[in-house]
Copies of this chain bind each other. A is one copy, B any other.
Amino acid sequence: MKDIHIDLKPIGVVINNHSDEEVRNSLFGVQGQIFIYDDYKDGLCCLQGFSHIIVIGYAHKLKEEDKKVLKVRLRKIERLYNVQTPEVGVFSSGSPARPNLLIISILKLIDIKDNILYVDNLDMYDKTPILDIRPFTMERIPNEEIKVPEWYAKLFNKIKDK
């Protein structure tokens, strides 16, 4: 199983009128669009009305060597808030430099017109290939139960005070 290769095709693409720099510097993302290719358009039926969606993107601007990254600092937070962050494993972070270069984002779904999704909180660059979309709902995750480790709580407490 370990050595299988999994071959995926984009179902759509990000249309983002903000520069990469602007996307990088926005902690909670920007407004933008996701264009779903005609072949997959029927898959969008009944998505209108969900306020949030989980979107899987592929960090196409990263390089082969970025797949080898296993530990990172939370650079965006360091840059925006001028705080030091601990070095953590990539699976404890949202860093796009990670073994499969996948981006997993929970986005606010503002509207759907034809095969274009209008979204907020977008943290993907223009032309990022989109691999999958599904609704984000809370049935399975009662809010009061969500816990985070001490390093993470401390970090976000520091940020809140800024």
Q: Please list the residues of chain A having a beta carbon within 8 angstroms of any beta carbon in chain B.
A: 1-11, 13, 28, 36-37, 40, 42-52, 54, 56, 58, 60, 70-71, 86-94, 98-100, 102, 104, 106, 121, 127, 129, 131-141, 143, 145-152, 156
* Total copies of this chain within the assembly: 2
Which of chain B's residues have a CB closer than 8 A to the CB of A129?
Answer: 1, 4, 6
Contact of A49 among B45, B93, B148 (CB under 8 A): B148
8 contacts between A and B (CB under 8 A): A1-B60, A6-B10, A28-B140, A45-B92, A51-B145, A54-B54, A104-B132, A137-B152
- With A46-B149, A100-B132 already in contact, 19 other A-B pairs whose C-beta atoms are closer than 8 Å: A1-B60, A5-B7, A6-B8, A6-B131, A9-B99, A11-B100, A36-B91, A43-B71, A43-B99, A44-B92, A45-B89, A46-B89, A51-B145, A51-B148, A52-B145, A54-B54, A91-B134, A102-B132, A137-B148
Distance from A136 Cβ to chain B, minimum over Cβ atoms (Å): 7
Residue of B nearest to A129 (CB): B1
Distance from A91 Cβ to chain B, minimum over Cβ atoms (Å): 4
Which of chain B's residues have a CB closer than 8 A to the CB of A147?
Answer: 49-51
Highest count of chain B CB atoms <10 Å: which of A28, A42, A86, A87:
A42
